[in-house]
Homo-oligomer: A and B are copies of this chain.
Amino acid sequence: MALIVQKYGGTSVGSVDRISQVADRVIETAKQGHQVVVVVSAMSGETDRLIDLANGLTELPAPRELDVLLSTGEQVSIALLSMTLIKKGYQARSYTGAQVKILTDGVHNKARIINIDGSAIADDLGNGRIVVVAGFQGVDIEGNITTLGRGGSDTTAVALAAALKADECQIYTDVDGVYTTDPRIEPQARLLRRVTFEEMLEMASLGAKVLQIRAVEFAGRYGVPLRVLNTFSDDPGTLIALEEKGEKKMEQPLVSGIAFNRNEAKLTVLGVPDQPGVAAKILCPIGDAAIDVDMIIQNAATQGLIDFTFTVNRTDFERAQAILVKVVAELGAEGIVTDKKIAKISLVGVGMKSHAGIASTMFTTLGQEGINIQLISTSEIKVSVVVDEKYLELGVRSLHAAFGLDRAPEEEQLTG
Residues of chain A at the chain B interface (Cβ within 8 Å): 16, 19-20, 50, 53-54, 56-58, 60-62, 64-66, 68-69, 71-72, 75-76, 78-80, 82-84, 86-87, 92-94, 96, 98-99, 143, 145
Cα-based distance from A60 to B62 in the complex (angstroms) = 38
Judge whether A20 and B57 touch: CB under 8 Å.
yes
Which of chain B's residues have a CB closer than 8 A to the CB of A98?
Answer: 98
Judge whether B58 and A87 touch: CB under 8 Å.
yes
Contacts known (A72-B72, A76-B72, A143-B99); A65 close to B53, Cβ less than 8 A: no
Tell me the minimal C-beta distance from A330 to chain B in angstroms: 40
Per DSSP, are chain A's interface residues mostly helix, strand or loop, or mixed? helix
B16, B65, B143: the one contacting A86 at CB < 8 Å is B65
Cα-based distance from A84 to B76 in the complex (angstroms) = 23
Cα-based distance from A76 to B42 in the complex (angstroms) = 14
Judge whether B79 and A66 touch: CB under 8 Å.
yes
Judge whether B76 and A75 touch: CB under 8 Å.
no
Copies, count: 2
Cα-based distance from A88 to B167 in the complex (angstroms) = 50
Which of chain B's residues have a CB closer than 8 A to the CB of A78?
Answer: 68
Judge whether B76 and A69 touch: CB under 8 Å.
yes
Closest B residue to A70 by beta carbon equals B79
Known: A65-B79, A71-B75. 10 other contacts (CB 8 A): A50-B76, A58-B84, A62-B82, A62-B86, A65-B83, A65-B86, A66-B79, A72-B72, A72-B79, A99-B143
B16, B20, B62, B75: the one contacting A75 at CB < 8 Å is B75
Cα-based distance from A340 to B287 in the complex (angstroms) = 79
B16, B69, B79: the one contacting A69 at CB < 8 Å is B79
Cα-based distance from A76 to B75 in the complex (angstroms) = 11
Which of chain B's residues have a CB closer than 8 A to the CB of A57?
Answer: 16, 19-20, 80, 83-84, 87
Judge whether B53 and A80 touch: CB under 8 Å.
yes
B54, B64, B75, B84: the one contacting A68 at CB < 8 Å is B75
Closest B residue to A52 by beta carbon equals B16
Judge whether B54 and A83 touch: CB under 8 Å.
yes
